[in-house]
């Protein structure tokens, strides 16, 4: 019988040791005085999630970076409430301002600030994401791509995952043929087909326009069982009445930097109008689709009535942080299963900042 740390070729398998080291360092970061240097009182963390699903629905799921197991979600929230004071995104700036003028020794008995946000408005937000948050009085800001809410349309990246889960070999052949029909060359196709599905999805916007990506999703949807993928507006209204704050994620999740100024304004303004038709309170913050940003966006966001925006870049938020480029920490499957990995992530952020 082989040793757990030695593979079949007699070579040492370092993965378990690396995992143990990460978890140990993460534990020290979260649970010892080391956190004073890694988790500043004067800053705040914005968490971002996408989906919460039962383990029974995660068999073969291709993107663990955007899904959390429902069985581990409540326990992770309990751990986080020991470390953080959760506030809403729209409360953030006021509390940061208050902490900046307080003496640090007055804050030693207080917890760090944290904010919970979720993107895309998936159907499972209603059933699995929100109830444990509600039970713990943790505010949630939910960013909605309004044209996709209350429809059976697929996000293009999820359509690829679903097709691959349904029939991997068919997905390989069909998508290769479809990309070829859109003018993607043989060399690029060969390179793409050598990547994992997750990495291919990251690369596809390089080769396809936003309109082509939507066409791809619609073409795949015809081959898959028809079902609701996003929340209904009735569910959005119900969540809003229970305290969930709705924010804009644009109209149809298009990357803003590739659009014209007129198209950007349409995405920002029309989505806001639609949300206001369904809820009484709308967040003053926008969520950049794909995390794609550019320096031209803040004045347009401001003109459309937004006071800030969240990105996908990791980091802490401070009083001096540009409100239109707020960093967030992505929640993924492994981090929620092993909360110590958050500590390791925060330690890396500190070391990178000091480098």
pLDDT in tens, 120-160: 999 999 999 999 999 999 999 999 999 999 988 878 888 88
Residues facing 53 on adjacent strands: 69
* pLDDT for res 346: 94
Classify residue 155 by its DSSP letter.
P
Tell the CATH superfamily of the 38-151+232-354 domain: Glycoside hydrolase/deacetylase (3.20.20.370)
pLDDT at residue 5, as a whole number:
46
Task: Flag the least confident range among 16-20, 26-30, 122-126, 267-271.
Answer: 16-20
**Predicted structure pTM score:** 0.88
- Burial class of residue 132, CB neighbours in 10 A (0-12, 13-18, 19+): middle
pLDDT attached to residue 118: 98
Rounded distance, CA 291 to CA 327, Å?
Answer: 10
Report which of residues 17 and 90 the model is more confident about. Answer: 90
Q: Give, to the nearest 10 degrees, the angle between helix 186-193 and helix 168-181.
A: 160
26 alpha carbon, distance to own chain's centre:
21
pLDDT of 12 reads 53
Q: Are 339 and 76 in contact (CB under 8 A)?
A: yes
10-24, 59-73, 189-203, range with the lowest pLDDT: 10-24
Spatial separation of the C-alpha atoms in residues 324 and 306, rounded to whole Å: 9
- Name which of 8-22, 44-58, 301-315 the model is least confident about: 8-22
> 99-113: per-residue pLDDT in tens?
766 655 555 557 899
The residues facing 69 across adjacent strands are 53
Give the closest residue to 309 by CA, choosing from 282, 291, 330, 329. Answer: 291
Q: Write a three-state SS string for 105-154.
A: HHHCCCCEEEEEEEECCECHHHHHHHHHHHHCCCCCEEEECHHHCCCCCC
What percent of the chain has pLDDT above 70? 93
Mean pLDDT for 14-24 is: 84
Q: So what's the pLDDT on residue 199? A: 85
Tally the C-alpha atoms within 13 A of residue 129's C-alpha that lie toward its C-beta. Answer: 28
- Using DSSP, state whether 213 is helix, strand or coil: helix
The tens digit of pLDDT for each residue in 75-108 reads 999 999 999 999 999 999 888 887 766 655 555 5
For the ranges 79-83, 284-288, 304-308, 351-355, which has the lowest average pLDDT? 351-355
Say which residues have a Cβ less than 8 Å from residue 192's Cβ, sequence separation at least 6: 179, 184, 200, 203, 204, 207
Rounded Cα distance between 62 and 342, Å, is 22
- Cα separation of 215 and 150, whole Å? 19
Dist. CA 165–CA 272, nearest whole Å: 34
Angle of CA points 77, 149, 211, to nearest 5°: 115
Cα atoms in the Cβ-side hemisphere of radius 13 Å centred on 205? 14
Provide the Cα torsion 264, 269, 270, 272; round to 10°.
Answer: 130
Lookup result for tokens 């968490």: 47
Confidence at residue 154, expressed as pLDDT on a 0 to 100 scale: 78
For residues 192 and 260, what is the distance between their CA atoms, to the nearest angstrom?
Answer: 29
Phi, psi of 46 (to 5 degrees): -105, 115
pLDDT band at 2 (very low <50, low <70, confident <90, very high): very low
Summarize pLDDT for 223-248 with one digit per residue, the tens: 887 777 899 999 999 999 999 999 99
Q: From the CA atom positions of the chain, what is the Rg in Å? A: 21
What are 104's two structure tokens? Answer: 């640090």
User: Residue 101: what pLDDT?
Assistant: 66
Lowest mean pLDDT among 4-8, 226-230, 255-259, 325-329: 4-8
Give the pLDDT band (50/70/90) at residue 13.
low
Alpha-carbon distance values, 195 to 121, 184, 238, 250, 339 (Å): 28, 16, 41, 29, 29
Chain Cα centroid distance, residue 174: 28
Q: How confident is the model at residue 16 (pLDDT cuts 50, 70, 90)?
A: confident
Mean pLDDT (whole number) for 313-320? 94
Cα(23)–Cα(19) distance, rounded to whole angstroms? 6
Domain ranges of the chain: 38-151+232-354, 156-221
């Amino acid at each position: 019988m082989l040793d757990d740390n030695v593979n079949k070729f007699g070579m040492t398998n370092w993965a378990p040791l690396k995992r143990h080291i990460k978890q140990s360092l993460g534990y020290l970061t979260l649970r010892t005085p080391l956190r004073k240097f890694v988790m500043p009182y004067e800053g705040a963390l914005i968490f971002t999630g996408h989906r919460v699903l039962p383990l029974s629905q995660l068999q073969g799921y291709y993107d663990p970076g955007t899904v959390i197991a429902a069985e581990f979600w409540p326990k992770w929230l309990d751990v986080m409430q020991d470390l953080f004071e959760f506030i809403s995104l729209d409360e953030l700036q006021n509390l940061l301002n208050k902490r900046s003028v307080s003496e640090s020794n007055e804050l030693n008995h207080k917890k760090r600030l944290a904010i919970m946000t979720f993107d895309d408005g998936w159907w499972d937000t209603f059933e699995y994401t929100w109830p444990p948050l509600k039970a713990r009085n943790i505010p949630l800001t939910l960013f909605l791509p309004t044209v996709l809410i209350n429809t059976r349309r697929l996000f293009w990246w999820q359509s690829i995952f679903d097709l691959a889960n349904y029939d991997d070999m068919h997905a390989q052949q069909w998508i290769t043929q479809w990309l070829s029909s859109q003018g993607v060359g043989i060399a690029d196709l060969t390179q793409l087909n050598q990547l994992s599905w997750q990495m291919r999805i990251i690369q596809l916007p390089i080769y396809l326009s936003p309109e082509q990506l939507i066409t791809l999703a619609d073409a795949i949807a015809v081959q898959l069982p028809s079902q609701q993928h996003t929340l209904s507006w009735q569910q959005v209204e119900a969540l809003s009445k229970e305290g969930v704050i709705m924010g804009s994620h644009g109209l149809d999740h298009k990357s803003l930097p590739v659009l014209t100024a007129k198209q950007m304004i349409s995405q920002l303004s029309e989505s806001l109008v639609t949300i206001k038709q369904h809820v009484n309170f709308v967040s003053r913050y926008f969520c950049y689709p794909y995390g794609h940003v550019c320096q031209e966006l803040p004045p347009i966001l401001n003109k459309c009535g937004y006071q800030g925006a969240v990105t996908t870049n990791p980091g802490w938020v401070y009083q001096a942080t540009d409100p239109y480029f707020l960093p967030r920490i992505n929640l993924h499957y492994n981090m929620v299963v092993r909360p110590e990995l958050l500590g390791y992530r925060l330690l890396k952020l500190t070391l990178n900042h000091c480098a």
